[in-house]
Structure 1
């Protein structure tokens, strides 16, 4: 048996994968709290993650009916970019700043200036650092929490911290390290000089975790944790990775030719590559994967967090929300939501606020606002898809995951807006499944069998044929026009440069 863990923004998911049956036999979920303010602060305490994991783990074990001692290995997926700072004793110093925290925009601009601007940053690291990355969080901590900053002995990402709690080891792998802002995605090495810009005393560069290969274990579960969880001795913990990297494994997106789209708290698009990608556009993050390759990625910061806010505003449950989506035509009768309620990464607008455009007495209704929320957030991914395609990364269909993928109406909107068929994996918990598959891969290497990751994905990842949606050409035309309106709104209201030759914006 293999345990997959996904520590996300909204909660922690745990699944148990039975390799003989080729299916999930137990799962559990526990939500997280969130610390936030109007300045863009988004934080969580790592203790909340561990408490949520324990609850979800026991739910999964109870549902599966197995003895926990049958579990061979654990693979952890975690939300990317978060800063978990530990002191010399391994204690968490302060709440973790998350991927969606935009409070550090001034610090990111300071770092870009110190690196000579975006072009020199890209030349140095293979990518352009963004506000959500870990580096600006460290500079923010130095400038705003100096006493806490001086205590830093270890710098970890959320999934690294989970592995540390399980094993006592401070390690990380190339995929999640790619989003720190002090890692070279081409050479796959730390750029300690960037940390020295933040702190010339070399405190931070000494606090980095060791880098390991994707198939290598982070370690063995500590005796006290094994006893707490009822595990047998010598349970492996795989390298794990960021949620997008694990989602790629969980959708079988580990070789070139596939595109995965996630409609989660954030929106993401990514495609596997067997060599580094030189982005034609700074909106593309050419990250490494957690499989030994690369995973060029687009991320938007506003997706189901916006639709959930609409549900709460009108007190709609999910079936009612979907009924309203189906009742309103494509384009929401002229209502356009620019959904930047949490700033935005793609396009790069970390301090932006949202706008409702085209409001009139006919479309100012709850159903129209719900439809506009789905369309506005999905337009951001259409924007990202253009960037991905410009970089030579495309697919004949899109593998759709995340909470939004469960909606028939949202799947059709996505197919129409992207003018591409969409389909969903049979197991929707892609990041947790990816963790479990990676754990099986790691365990295989540990035993000297070296089963290929591709074979494991073929074994455990299947597509639900009933979920496939083809583009409706009427909807395709509506959304082509709406995308032009979206680009024009970016240009006129957010000062994003408009490219008249290509009929879209430059990021």
Structure 2
């Protein structure tokens, strides 16, 4: 059996073809996306770009000759969370999608939080604190700033739902991605009238929202037009899919307690599985539903590889030159601390903040130290999130590292030392796409009456690359701890209420 896993991220769409008999990815492809930016925090993309990128990535995978399109049994889609896709009553896209990293809607988010009774009211109502990146504030922004477009809305989808809609013609959403809208009660797994009422008439919005399904359920089969275009069979199933973090959890085998996944991508995320609806200890933790019918305690930082690459580009360095610069600088960058909030930040909750380089003097202000402070700064943001997860009872026996940054041996060791936790990378470098393919396999088996557990599939297919495993270096742990505490002190000095 062969399964197509699709990951529609911020920078590109990637696909993998997974052969269950070989227990391996046998082909993959990728195609980049454009981005519509703005100085006011606007970050948008046209959904049609995702479709075109999917087509190109699939053709790239197909051109390798390792499989034929007719071999595919089911498709699973992973997508960037929180993005708002609005369609009219003909199913046509009304305007570009506002993305997870869009902070233009900070004012609307504050309005929603206040209407729900502040942070505590959000948690009491929804089980989580609503953040600016979530879908809810984007919808209120649309109503307030583009009333003509809002009046046309017949369907509200997230990015992965839109790809599912293009594939099947069905308007469906699963609980994992739905919990990142800020409109779902994550404990009862239903839309919240109280949250909907902060935006518009709940009855009106409920008509726009898609049907909710469980993780193991299928959305439907691929439309005949798409089958013909891609060369697929008419009976190819499309699974529920989910957000990229939910699919990354499946792809890294993070579906039971004790494992933490860290994604070093455009954004940085840390997440851990829970088998019961969590009673969160800190509002910066997002206790989403998982795409494995449990829950996923998650923190997200908005500035990671994008911020690091921005500083790398200042010096005109390639990745090798950047690594050499960081290695020349000692741990702690001789006292330089970078708060890397180039596009605001989510953890800590600072949507309107800007970056700061602190501790500069005539001796330490060098390109090497600046570059190390950038890499340390984004990593310390993740450490802040790890502290929050550990404070909520998460057992971090092992850190599974994914995303582009995981390819760096230097960064892998830094993560192990800063987190004081063993680090290992999955065998597949595309964990979200692999997770989508594994979920598609699970869904396909269920559809055929073979009720195999997702855990059994992950144990077989979510393998780890032990050659890339690293353990914390005790000396480095102590030195990074000093630098991290300095980071926390300077963060609190500038933003006293941030954590």
Stretch of structure 1 that moved more, 286-295 or 302-311: 302-311
Q: Is the 8 A contact 1:25 1:63 kept in 2?
A: no
Counterpart secondary structure, 2:270: strand
Counterpart secondary structure, 2:475: helix
- Say whether 1:228 aligns with 2:224: no
Q: Deviations over 1:290-317 (max 9, x none)?
A: 0011111011101001111122222222
Partner of 1:276: 277
Mapping 1:188-337, distance limit 5 Å? 188-200=189-201, 202-337=203-338
Partner of 1:478: 479
- Relative distance call for 1:225 and 1:450 in structure 2 (3 A) is same
Partner of 1:400: 401
1:65 Cα deviation after fit: 3.0
Q: Is the 8 A contact 1:238 1:442 kept in 2?
A: yes
Stretch of structure 1 that moved more, 188-197 or 413-422: 188-197
Q: Is the 8 A contact 2:258 2:398 kept in 1?
A: no
- Write the distance in 1 (CA, Å) between the matches of 2:440 and 2:325: 41
1:66 Cα deviation after fit: 1.6
- Write the distance in 1 (CA, Å) between the matches of 2:202 and 2:282: 35
- Say whether 1:419 aligns with 2:420: yes
- Say whether 1:79 aligns with 2:80: yes
Stretch of structure 1 that moved more, 126-135 or 481-490: 481-490
- Write the distance in 2 (CA, Å) between the matches of 1:93 and 1:399: 39
Q: Is the 8 A contact 1:25 1:64 kept in 2?
A: no
- Write the distance in 1 (CA, Å) between the matches of 2:323 and 2:52: 33
Stretch of structure 1 that moved more, 475-484 or 9-18: 475-484
Partner of 1:436: 437
Partner of 2:180: 179
- Write the distance in 2 (CA, Å) between the matches of 1:420 and 1:310: 27
Counterpart secondary structure, 1:268: strand
Mapping 1:109-128, distance limit 5 Å? 109-128=110-129
Q: Is the 8 A contact 2:116 2:194 kept in 1?
A: no
- Write the distance in 2 (CA, Å) between the matches of 1:201 and 1:256: 36
1:480 Cα deviation after fit: 1.1
1:363 Cα deviation after fit: 2.8
1:201 Cα deviation after fit: 7.2
Partner of 2:66: 65
Q: Is the 8 A contact 1:35 1:44 kept in 2?
A: yes
1:109 Cα deviation after fit: 0.6
1:360 Cα deviation after fit: 2.3
Q: Deviations over 1:18-72 (max 9, x none)?
A: 1111111111111111111111101001011111111001001112432100000
- Write the distance in 1 (CA, Å) between the matches of 2:4 and 2:18: 6
Mapping 1:130-149, distance limit 5 Å? 130-149=131-150
Aligned length: 498
- Write the distance in 2 (CA, Å) between the matches of 1:342 and 1:123: 29
Stretch of structure 1 that moved more, 138-147 or 55-64: 55-64
Q: Is the 8 A contact 1:79 1:159 kept in 2?
A: yes
1:200 Cα deviation after fit: 2.5
Q: Which ranges of structure 2 fall in alignment gaps of 5 or more residues? A: none
1:197 Cα deviation after fit: 2.6
Counterpart secondary structure, 2:485: helix
- Write the distance in 2 (CA, Å) between the matches of 1:43 and 1:166: 22
Q: Is the 8 A contact 1:490 1:496 kept in 2?
A: no
Partner of 1:168: 169
- Write the distance in 1 (CA, Å) between the matches of 2:497 and 2:331: 25
1:170 Cα deviation after fit: 0.4
- Write the distance in 2 (CA, Å) between the matches of 1:81 and 1:228: 29
- Write the distance in 2 (CA, Å) between the matches of 1:327 and 1:438: 44
Q: Is the 8 A contact 1:250 1:434 kept in 2?
A: yes
TM-score by length of 1: 0.97
- Write the distance in 1 (CA, Å) between the matches of 2:57 and 2:227: 16
Q: Is the 8 A contact 1:398 1:420 kept in 2?
A: yes
Q: Cα RMSD over matched residues?
A: 1.1
1:12 Cα deviation after fit: 0.5
Counterpart secondary structure, 2:287: strand
Q: Which ranges of structure 1 fall in alignment gaps of 5 or more residues? A: 498-506
- Write the distance in 1 (CA, Å) between the matches of 2:29 and 2:368: 32
Q: Is the 8 A contact 2:282 2:388 kept in 1?
A: yes
- Write the distance in 1 (CA, Å) between the matches of 2:248 and 2:338: 28
Counterpart secondary structure, 2:203: coil
Stretch of structure 1 that moved more, 365-374 or 192-201: 192-201
- Say whether 1:343 aligns with 2:339: no
Counterpart secondary structure, 2:326: helix
Counterpart secondary structure, 1:5: strand
Q: Is the 8 A contact 2:257 2:395 kept in 1?
A: no
Q: Deviations over 1:394-422 (max 9, x none)?
A: 22221111111110101111111111111
Counterpart secondary structure, 1:466: strand
Q: Is the 8 A contact 1:261 1:269 kept in 2?
A: yes
Partner of 1:376: 377
1:82 Cα deviation after fit: 0.3
1:194 Cα deviation after fit: 2.0
Q: Is the 8 A contact 1:153 1:203 kept in 2?
A: no
1:359 Cα deviation after fit: 1.5
- Write the distance in 2 (CA, Å) between the matches of 1:108 and 1:396: 35
Q: Is the 8 A contact 1:405 1:411 kept in 2?
A: yes
